[in-house]
Chains A and B, each alone.
Chain A
Amino acid sequence: MENKEVILSVKNLRQHFPIDGGGLFKKTIGYIRAVDGISFDVYKGETVGIVGESGCGKSTTVRSIAQLYKPTTGQVIFHGVDLCTADKDTLLKERRNIQMIFQDPYASLDPRMTVRNIILEPLRIYNKRNLLDKNYTEEELDEKVKDLMEKVGINKAFVNRYPHEFSGGQRQRIGIARALALNPEIILADEPVSALDVSIQAQILNLISDIQKEMGVTFIFIAHDLGVIQHISHRVIVMYLGKIMEISSSDELYSNPLHPYTQALLSAAPIPDPKLERTRQRIVLEGDVPSPDKERHCCYFYDRCSKRMDKCACAVPPMFDCGNNHHVACFLYDDKPVAEPADDTPTEGELKLRKKTENKAEN
């Protein structure tokens, strides 16, 4: 992995959503910290898996990377361009190389379009603005649709059909064909298999790895099924409450989880062997995931951690490099070198809000 080329680099990305108070003027009374300062690199040609329980900010992360939401702070550097501050035209040009696959194959295809139009939509948009390598005619586009359909394994005869005439797995294939239409370098897959049943999941996963082998596409792959992540990804990011807890290569993480949260998470996954399954020791976490609407200056996992120390309540743990490209945000490993310092400087909106409450308190 050392000599691999970094294709996408996320630096201290935050995505805060304002909470509107009631009343006539809809004052902002707080922020939901969906993603709260994460940094990671993605290397060319690999698959990065993101795991974590519901509401930990996995989907928000990929949506921020795709610029579907404007990130509050931070940088998403792709081809040397910061997408967060890029102007519209550059963004459009770069975005061509970042495509998405969505979770729900029933909702992600427009029910009033034929398969042809769905797959061609990105091509038409870019063709119209002359952003492709050449200007495609309708006939060439038709050829392209047929290629793509063949590639993802749908019968070419179905080009004039509508999404509701397909099964979930077939629809997800159409979604993948659409994402491939522009020959992107990165595909952000937002839980592409969690809405499918298990046999279909396997087919889609195999399709994705085939595509990766064939076209060399980089994937950022979200799932909350640990087995799926283990199967498909080279490196895994574990997220909790909008923060990265642990980054490591897949094999390393599954054999040697360091962070208490990762350990708990892995212990919750059933083992597909009845004998081993009976001996499996579960680490049961206390309490629920806390609400992400508070500012935190401690370890984000502090409330529920079984190994918490006094130190954990005082500062946000930085990323410690435990060797072998294994980074953990936990003070248990504070003897290791710091790979990346923690950054908990408040955002502009938060400062404003803080000032307001202070003023109120003074009055």
Chain B
Amino acid sequence: MALFRKKEIATNEFNQVIVGTSLTKEAWKRLKKNKLAVVGGVIVIIYTLIALCASLLPIYPYDEAITVHRNLRPSLTKTAGDLMLEQEMKNLFFQAWRQGRLELSDEEDAQIEAWVMESKTNQVWDLVYARGMEALEAGSFEWNSSEQSRIDRMLNNIETETQITIDKVSVVYEGKTMNIEDMSYEELRGLYASLLGVDENTLEESLVNEVRSAVSNELRSKDSTLSGEDLDSSVEMEMDALGEDGIHDRASTNIIGYIEQIAQRSANSDIQAMIDSGSMTFPYEGTFDLSNGLHVELEVTKMHERRYIFGTDYLGRDLLSRIIYGSQVSIAVGIVGTVTSIFIGILVGSLAGYLGGKVDYYLMRFVDIMYGLPYMLLVIICMAIFGRQIVNLFFALALVSWLTIARMVRGQIMSLKNQEYVEAARSMGAGTMHIIFKHMIPNSLSIIIVYSTIRIPAFIMQESFLSFLGLGVQAPYASWGSLIGDAVSSMALYPYKLIIPSIVMVIFLFSMNFLGDGLRDAFDPQTKNQL
């Protein structure tokens, strides 16, 4: 009511508008003067925007694995093809050095031997590559025939291999053009049966069997001890739980995949013909009408012309897009965790602080007991019991993280409770809820805001820690922690995989901390310059 009503403008006798300056407004003024905090805030906003708009950004899909692009180093100038070739040549030069065909000075030989002993592979590769290219240019080294043919083949591949991304498959069905993703299960089944030229009933059976075997695989991957009759009965239970609709949903997804494959296969010959005739310019976007009645909108790009400015991971996925999508998960964990813990904390803390007495005593003893339990262990147990899904991660983190907030809010409320304006409110007949929501929470909001900006980095760190241990988000999703965790095993060989996500994360955490410090100074100027 009053909150949403436009404030009436008050003017004095000289017709000047008199506006009040609230404490929040003053804090905002102070915050704006703190440059470090402003920079921190801007960086945080940029990160959040990038994470939110990840699907709109011109980046490669985070889960698209291109096997030949494994472990490419980050490069701003070179395409994936160049890097692949460079990597191949490094290998070949090294082999040539081993075979004695690439001759280096004695010192360099000794150096390489030493590096090999210390498994400093990168230095070895760089050195032989540099020397090898010099030798190649000077004419003192030549590839042998098998090496030459490998290089030629690779050059040819780089020149010709294309990546086809299907945007949309549509079909003329009963006189209407329909996107297959919008079609019902029955329609999809009919379409697929007609494409394959088989009977619908046999198709139905094989589709159900497919779902069943997928379910069985999932169960086995969850619990490897399951086998024989146990497995069969749990598969049946799982199938029953899915129900007919569930099975059809999964079957529909499968059919869409198959139809897309068929469409791509049929379109391939047309695309190949266009490439051969040279009429295709890359990147190419177009629609193909296929003989079997399918219309496919697709995009053809040269696969090896991709550029990975942050490199790729061990499956050939773009590290840049994985970091961006990972920041989605990490920032979401930070924000959702903080918000839920603040909600629970405010509720428990304000009740305990305001009501006092027995309520306070028992709530706080409960908090003390929860404090006593090892925090990370609880989260790990939660994750183990409820499964490793992102939602469970949020839940597990929020479950144990409200304790500090509850205590803090309780303390604040207890000190506010004896303020005269609260007594005044009570003397005019205000109820408990009115006092808590109108007086106590607005007055403790500033420290809650400050505390939550300091909590967000802590949550991100915890999520990263869990993901690092393998308990956090599961593939193909990524988070900063899981990226770092994945990179640790190949730290010596591909240090960029570790360093880049770490830097990204550190920048965010620093900004968040600067912002939090700035907010604290702004809301509570007396504590500034105090320890």
Contacts and interface: CB of A to CB of B under 8 A. Distances in A.
Interface of A: 26, 63, 66, 68, 91-92, 95-96, 98-100, 102-104, 107-112, 114-115, 117, 120-122, 124-126, 138, 142, 155-162, 164-165, 175, 178, 182
B2 A112 contact: no
A16 to B, nearest CB: 17
B490 to A, nearest CB: 54
A72 to B, nearest CB: 17
Given A107-B421, A108-B421, A112-B442, A160 B427 contact: no
Interface stretch (B20-28, B34-42, B242-250): B20-28
Interface stretch (B4-12, B195-203, B502-510): B4-12
B426 A68 contact: yes
B420 A102 contact: yes
Given A126-B429, A138-B5, A160 B20 contact: yes
A20 to B, nearest CB: 11
Nearest to A139: B8
Contacts of B419: 107
Contacts of A175: 424
A109 B429 contact: no
Interface of B: 1-2, 5, 7-8, 10-13, 16, 18-24, 361, 419-421, 423-430, 434, 438-439, 442-443
A162 B420 CA distance: 17
A28 B142 CA distance: 98
A121 B8 contact: no
B127 to A, nearest CB: 67
A103 B18 contact: no
A102 B423 contact: yes
29 contacts: A26-B361, A66-B427, A68-B426, A91-B429, A95-B428, A95-B429, A99-B427, A100-B427, A107-B419, A107-B420, A107-B421, A110-B421, A110-B425, A110-B443, A111-B443, A112-B23, A112-B442, A114-B20, A120-B2, A121-B428, A122-B429, A125-B434, A155-B12, A157-B13, A160-B19, A161-B20, A165-B20, A165-B21, A175-B424
B391 to A, nearest CB: 36
B29 to A, nearest CB: 14
Contacts of A161: 18-21
A110 B439 contact: yes
Contact of B23 (A92, A95, A107, A164): A164
A130 to B, nearest CB: 13
B23 A159 contact: no
Nearest to A102: B420
B11 A99 contact: no
B428 A162 contact: no
Contact of A142 (B8, B18, B430): B8
Nearest to B422: A110
B421 A125 contact: no
Contacts of B425: 110, 121
A110 B442 CA distance: 10
B1 A68 contact: no
Contacts of A63: 423
Nearest to A66: B427
Contacts of B13: 157
Given A110-B443, A112-B23, A165-B20, A157 B10 contact: yes
Contacts of B442: 110, 112
Nearest to A164: B23
Contacts of B21: 161-162, 165
A162 to B, nearest CB: 5
Given A100-B427, A142-B8, A182-B428, A109 B421 contact: yes
B369 to A, nearest CB: 14
Contacts of B8: 142, 159-160
Contact of A138 (B2, B421, B426): B2
A224 to B, nearest CB: 18
Nearest to A110: B421
A55 to B, nearest CB: 17
Contacts of A162: 20-23
Nearest to B419: A107
Contacts of B438: 110, 121
A158 B8 CA distance: 11
Contact of B1 (A111, A117, A138, A159): A138
Contact of A158 (B10, B361, B429): B10
A158 B18 contact: yes
Contacts of A99: 427-428
The 10 closest A-B pairs by CB, nearest first: A157-B12, A161-B20, A122-B428, A108-B420, A107-B420, A157-B18, A160-B20, A100-B427, A110-B421, A102-B420
A251 B199 CA distance: 113
Given A102-B424, A108-B421, A112-B442, 10 more contacts: A26-B361, A96-B429, A100-B423, A108-B423, A110-B425, A125-B428, A126-B429, A138-B2, A142-B8, A162-B23
Contacts of A159: 8, 10
Contacts of B423: 63, 68, 100, 102, 108
Contacts of A112: 22-24, 442-443
B25 to A, nearest CB: 9
Interface centre among B24, B419, B420, B443 (most CB of A within 10 A): B420
Nearest to B8: A142
B19 to A, nearest CB: 6
Contacts of A91: 429
Nearest to B443: A112
Contacts of B430: 121, 125
Contacts of B7: 160
B356 to A, nearest CB: 12
A120 B428 CA distance: 11
Given A112-B23, A138-B2, A162-B22, A68 B427 contact: yes
Interface centre among A115, A138, A157 (most CB of B within 10 A): A157
Contacts of A115: 20
Given A138-B2, A160-B10, A178 B20 contact: no
A66 B429 CA distance: 10
B2 A160 contact: no
